[in-house]
Amino acid sequence: MALTETAVRHAKPRAKDHTLPDYNGLALFVSTKGAKYWHFRFSWADKQPRISLGTYPEISLRDARALREVARALIASGIDPRVHRQLERNARRLAMENA
């Protein structure tokens, strides 16, 4: 069942870390201290890696779903989203150093 903005907002910490699934690999991870992180799990090279998309409320449910779709498009193109993110960070770092 898909998450709603209300369910995300009212997600409370428990005795153990827990995850609230959305769909197509997106989930909200809630830590015991109350921090909320968006994670996207996908299939790559016969494994199920996970990539963090950011924290709630900085990244809303709508934004997290949009980021998931970008990652899914990269996967469909044969690009590992983890590697793509690292390359983008390196390019930004080099641009800032050379500016």
Q: State pLDDT tens for residues 3-62.
A: 999 999 999 999 999 999 999 999 999 999 999 999 999 999 999 999 999 999 999 999
Q: Which residues contact 74 (CB under 8 A, 6 or more apart)?
A: 80, 81, 84
Check pLDDT > 90 for residue 1. Answer: no
How far is it, in rounded angstroms, from Cα 86 to Cα 93?
11
Write down the domain spans for the chain.
5-98
* Class of CATH domain 5-98: alpha beta
Identify the band that residue 88 occupies on the pLDDT scale cut at 50, 70 and 90. Answer: very high
pLDDT of residue 11: 95
Torsion angle of the four alpha carbons 57, 58, 63, 64, in this order, in degrees rounded to the nearest 10: -70
Task: Report, in angstroms and rounded to the nearest whole number, the Rg of the chain calculated over CA atoms.
Answer: 15
Cβ-contact 19, 28 below 8 angstroms: yes
pLDDT of residue 10: 96
Check pLDDT > 80 for residue 99. Answer: no
pLDDT of residue 98: 86
Residue range 69-93: mean pLDDT, rounded: 96
